Amino acid sequence: MAKTDLNKLFNRDFNEALVHQVTVDYMTNHRSGTKAQKNRSAVSGGGAKPRPQKGSGRARAGTTRSPIWRTGGVTFAAQNKNYDKKINKKMYKAALNCIFSELLRKKKLHYVEDFNVESSKTKSFIKELSKLKIDNSLFIVNDEKINVFLAGRNLKNIEVVSPLGVNPYNLMKYNNVVIDSQILDKLQVLASWIMKELWR
């Protein structure tokens, strides 16, 4: 696919508000939300009054689960929370197109003819990377190219993903995005694939 075809494929104006909203929602959806602490009703013990109300000279106490006691519950205990936010499919697709279009305008979107490496060794990837003369890059390649994934997984500021691994966050995280010629035709339906993967 020629550069003119890329311009036809990615020709959307950059909508900063849309891209920001979709990216923040995407990152929010990946929060685990598993932080949890025990409040005074969740900690063990405390069924009986620890000492008589009067006569000891100490402060009144009705339970050992009180937050002011050493083994008591946490006053404002954190609970498991679901951070999931709904992202409209049309918004997600539009945001991806906006990002690709902006990368193309800023000459950060690179097209490589059949990108591959000799072996799964890291030095093989470095050799091919030196030919491109770029760093801090996201490589989008066919998921059948196992050697590319293995050779590039240990390099700093380099990430290799299949079309399904593309998202707004990693597109903007790196200075350059490299697209393999074998998956370029799939970019037209890339957003649709991602949405099916996320919502199936």
The pTM is what? Answer: 0.78
- How far CA 100 is from CA of 31, 48, 96, 132, 171, in Å, comes to 25, 65, 6, 20, 8
pLDDT above 70: residue 192: no
* pLDDT band at 190; cut points 50, 70, 90: low
Distance CA 87, CA 40 (A): 37
Neighbour-count burial for 165-179, b at 16+ CB within 10 Å, e otherwise: bbbbeebeebebbbb
Query: Dihedral sign, CA of 171, 177, 178, 182?
Result: positive
> Within a 10 A sphere around the Cβ of 142, how many other Cβ atoms?
16
Distance CA 161, CA 164 (A): 8
User: Which range in 21-30, 173-182, 190-199 is most confidently predicted, on average pLDDT?
Assistant: 21-30
Distance CA 104, CA 106 (A): 5
Given this model, what pLDDT does residue 188 score?
A: 58
Distance CA 22, CA 94 (A): 10
Report which secondary-structure segment, H or E, holds 197.
Answer: helix 190-199
Q: Go through the domains of the chain in sequence order and give each one's CATH number.
A: 3-16+87-199 (3.40.1370.10), 32-82 (no CATH)
Mean pLDDT to the nearest integer, 60-76: 93
Mean pLDDT to the nearest integer, 78-101: 92
> Within a 10 A sphere around the Cβ of 134, how many other Cβ atoms?
16
Report which secondary-structure segment, H or E, holds 138.
Answer: strand 137-140
Q: Can you list the alpha helix ranges (DSSP code H) found in 39-189? A: 89-105, 122-132, 146-152, 168-173
Given this model, what pLDDT does residue 7 score?
A: 73
**HSE-CB for 179 with a 13 A CA cutoff:** 24
- Per-residue model confidence as pLDDT tens digits over 8-54: 778 889 999 999 999 999 999 999 999 999 999 999 987 899 999 99
Distance CA 140, CA 176 (A): 11
